[in-house]
Amino acid sequence: MQIVMKFLKKKYGKEIRSFLKTKPDIFKLLITTILSQRTRDENTRKAAKILFSVASKPEEILKLSDKKLQKLIKPSGMYKQKAKNIKKLCKILVEELKGRIPSSREELMKLPGVGNKTADIVLSYGFGLPVIAVDIHVEVCNKRLGLVDEKANYMEIRKSLEKIVPEKDRYLVNLGFVKFGQEICLTRNPKCYACPFFDFCQFKNKFSIKEKYINEVSRNWDKGSEKR
């Protein structure tokens, strides 16, 4: 893990630290994370931008009709269920919590539409707590690298990583692996030939992309030599 963390820090550390210096609007962060469920990052950004241009506070969202809210967040997918949860969540925030966003995992998990990842994202990036949020990139990358068990669930992955990553470096894990997963360790068709962890990655097959590439180059070179 030390090798991995050293790479993430060198490659993405400066960018991540710069991002974390900007204090987020915790309500927007919460809603955006709900919108991100089971959709792609670009769809999340699009839906959030449209929604917040119209309503960016719980009181404002409550004034929207169900159909209007659904239309605004439609790019995120599953928009009917997400709209329903967002409306319920906003009502609880306004009527019961007086606008306060819970800062504990237990309280957050009681809110409609809030699961493990959403709660940990809010705790980590909203409140600055040393919590590792596990999204698809964190899960896929760490299972491929053999840093967590292949069959581990969300909480098992989170606990395993928090055991081996010091609190001071946990800020690197989520955003670092998100970037690494988007650039190199793609969920589909990973760029194994460009991976700095190729030598110890558990994912590589007997005929890996890198080996195929090397073998192909060798064959072409041999053919060229035969003609000469």
Q: Which two tokens stand for residue 15?
A: 């960018």
Residue 202 exposed, middle or buried by CB count within 10 Å (0-12, 13-18, 19+): exposed
Q: Which two tokens stand for residue 130?
A: 């040393």
CA 46 to chain CA centroid, Å, is: 16
Please answer whether residues 126 and 184 qualify as being in contact, where contact means their C-beta atoms are separated by less than 8 angstroms. Answer: no
Q: Cα separation of 28 and 31, whole Å? A: 5
pTM: 0.84
Active site residue ranges: 117, 135
- pLDDT of res. 6: 95
Please answer whether residues 7 and 177 qualify as being in contact, where contact means their C-beta atoms are separated by less than 8 angstroms. Answer: no
pLDDT in tens, the chain (228 residues): 889 999 999 999 999 999 888 889 999 999 999 999 999 889 999 999 999 999 999 999 999 999 999 999 999 999 999 999 999 999 999 999 999 999 999 999 999 999 999 999 999 999 999 999 999 999 999 999 999 999 999 999 999 999 999 999 999 999 999 999 999 999 888 888 889 998 888 887 544 554 555 444 444 444 444 444
